Amino acid sequence: MTDFQSSSTADDIIAGLDRINKKVDDMRNARLNDPDSLGDKLVKFAVPSIAGFVAGKAFQLLWNKGVAKRVPHGAGAIGDGVVDDHESWLMSVAFSAASAAFTAVVSQLSNRGSQALVDRRHHRKNKAQ
């Protein structure tokens, strides 16, 4: 009876290793058949990241300019991480939510734009061949 149990366990282990081996082979084939070059992947990563960062900083600058008209002189900027007398908790939440939403929209649009740029480059490359 022990031989049967160890044989069944060994078969289960081998079947599990075969599943892992198949998954590794599928992942290797997906990597080898990926049409994106390193430059394409860098563009698709860098453009949305940089655009989101710039949009966030621009939003903070515009927010501070708009709120500065209503803030007494000498007070700190809103969104600087310090809650001053003039900056309420509600204003902090409003700034955070609006900034995050604006940055997310810009990042999403630039992500789509960079993907379209890479797709257009692939289309031209395939057309030339």
109 and 54 in one domain?
yes
Structural domains of the chain, count: 2
| Cα–Cα dist 19/87, whole Å | 58
Residues 93 and 76 in one domain: yes
- Count of CB atoms situated within 10 Å of the CB of 110: 20
Containing structural domain, residue 15: 1-34
Interatomic CA distance for residues 21 and 89, integer angstroms: 54
pLDDT tens-digit map of 53-79 = 999 999 999 988 887 566 555 555 656
DSSP 51: H
Residues 22 and 66 placed together within one structural domain of the fold:
no
pLDDT tens, position by position, 2-26:
555 556 888 899 999 999 999 999 9
Distance from C-alpha of 74 to C-alpha of 81, rounded to nearest angstrom: 16
